[in-house]
Amino acid sequence: MSIEAIEQTAARGLSADPLALEADGQGAARQSVTAACLALLRHDLAIAWHQRAGVVASVVFFVIAASLFPLAIGPGLRTLGSLAPGILWVCALLASMLSLSHLFAQEHADGSLDQLVLSPHPLALLVLAKVGAHWLTTGLPLVVLAPALALQYGLPPDDGLRIAGSLLAGTPVLGLIGALGAALTLGTRGGAVLLCVIVLPLCVPVLVFGVGAGLGEAPAFPLLGACLALALFLCPLATAAALRIAME
């Protein structure tokens, strides 16, 4: 049903089958929200591809930092193996911090964030699409690389895969919390430092559960999953609110 038709109905003050109209509108709206989120995801992935040098930086940092520890600690395999999940997780956390500060910065500068906030679709879902694109380019490579890096710590492949599994559940949470921090510090001077101060304490539970899950401790993986569920629900809403404030 076209906008004019809806307006005419409203203008005449007729409630001509309002339920049918509402259902029709809701179905179309849901479809268009999905399409909008997918469009934004593809758009962000295309931008990331054009800026791949910057995107790769955080992945390279992860690989280098995680490779330096076995060299520095020395080949005491037993010590190294028990340290591996902790080291890989701290490296992943720091790598994700590296890429966070330009999550919204460029959109803020070129004005496309205005268009995003003014779009009729729910801002929280658009934020989720943006964080999804960010995770695909900066989080997923860490998950893929983790088993290979774990070999340097003398871990059997099973343990490496377990660490990768914990990162698979944990890195999206780091991205979601980071997006909130990036939105809160948008446009502030020295935002990168402030971002670390805001985000790192919030990431500590994820770090603790993530390392636990990497070590194979029983309750850690469900707790990490709970963190993911909570972050998926709360962080986009909070980030959307923070972005609206950042517009002022």
Partner 1 sequence: MTLAARQLGFSRGIRPVFAGVDFALQSGGLLQVQGANGAGKSTLLRVLCGLLAPDAGEVQWNGRPMRGGDPAFQQEVAYVGHANGISADLSVLANLRCTARMSGCEDSLPNALRAFALEAVAGTPVRALSQGQRRRVALARLALAPRRLWLLDEPVASLDDDARDRFHALLDGHLHGGGIAVVATHEALPQGGETLRMGVA
Residue 243, classified by CB atoms within 10 Å of its CB into exposed (0-12), middle (13-18) or buried (19+), is: buried
Give me the least distance between CB of 13 and partner 1, in Å please.
14
195 Cβ neighbours under 8 A, 6+ residues apart:
97, 100, 101, 178, 181, 182, 185
In whole angstroms, the minimum distance from the beta carbon of 41 to partner 1 comes to 10
d(CA 59, CA 55): 7
Tokens of 41: 């995801």
Q: Which is nearer to partner 1, 39 or 60 (CB)?
A: 39
Residue with Cβ nearer partner 1 (38 or 226): 38
Q: Are 231 and 172 in contact, with CB atoms under 8 Å apart?
A: yes
Which CB, 41 or 66, lies closer to partner 1? 41
For the four alpha carbons of 124, 134, 163 and 57, in that order, the dihedral sign comes to negative
- In angstroms, give the least distance from the CB of 57 to partner 1: 16
Shortest separation between residue 166's beta carbon and partner 1, angstroms: 34
**Nearest CA among 41, 104, 85, 103 for reference residue 207:** 85
Residues in the chain: 248
**224 touches 208 (CB < 8 A):** no
For residue 111, the minimal CB distance to partner 1 (Å) is: 3
> In 117-222, where do the E strands start and end?
none
Q: Give residues in contact with partner 1 (CB under 8 A).
A: 3, 32, 35-36, 38-40, 42-43, 46-47, 50-51, 106, 109-112, 114-115, 117-123, 244, 247-248
Between CA 237 and CA 29 the distance in angstroms is 19
Complex with partner 1: residue 21 or 117, whichever CB lies closer: 117
Q: Which is nearer to partner 1, 68 or 109 (by Cβ)? A: 109
Minimum Å gap between C-beta 160 and partner 1 is 35
Residue carrying structure tokens 């992943």 = 92
SS3 91: helix
Cβ atoms of 70 and 152 within 8 Å: the answer is yes
- Choice between 113 and 150, CB closer to partner 1: 113
Q: Which CB, 26 or 67, lies closer to partner 1?
A: 26
Q: Residue 237 Cβ, how far from partner 1 at the closest point, in Å? A: 12
